[in-house]
Amino acid sequence: MSEGRISIYTGEGHGKTPAALGIGLQRAARGERVIVIEFMKGKGVEESEFLKRLEPEFKIFRFERYDIPYDQRNAEQRQQDAESIRSGICFARKILNTMECDLLVLDEILAVVDNDICTVDELRDLVTKRGETDIVMTGITMNDEIYTFADEVTKVETTKFRKF
Domains, the chain, with CATH or none: 6-155 (3.40.50.300)
pLDDT in tens, 50-105: 778 888 899 999 888 888 878 888 999 989 989 999 999 999 999 999 999 999 99
What whole-number distance in Å separates Cα of residue 75 and Cα of residue 107?
Answer: 23
Q: Is 17 in contact with 140 (CB distance < 8 Å)?
A: no
What whole-number distance in Å separates Cα of residue 80 and Cα of residue 150?
Answer: 30
Stretch 99-113: mean pLDDT? 96
Q: Is 51 in contact with 60 (CB distance < 8 Å)?
A: yes
Residue type, 37: I
pTM over 0.85: yes
2 pLDDT band, cuts 50/70/90, is confident
Helices and strands counted in the chain (H then E)? 6, 6
User: Distance from CA of residue 105 to its chain's centroid?
Assistant: 4
What whole-number distance in Å separates Cα of residue 26 and Cα of residue 163?
Answer: 25
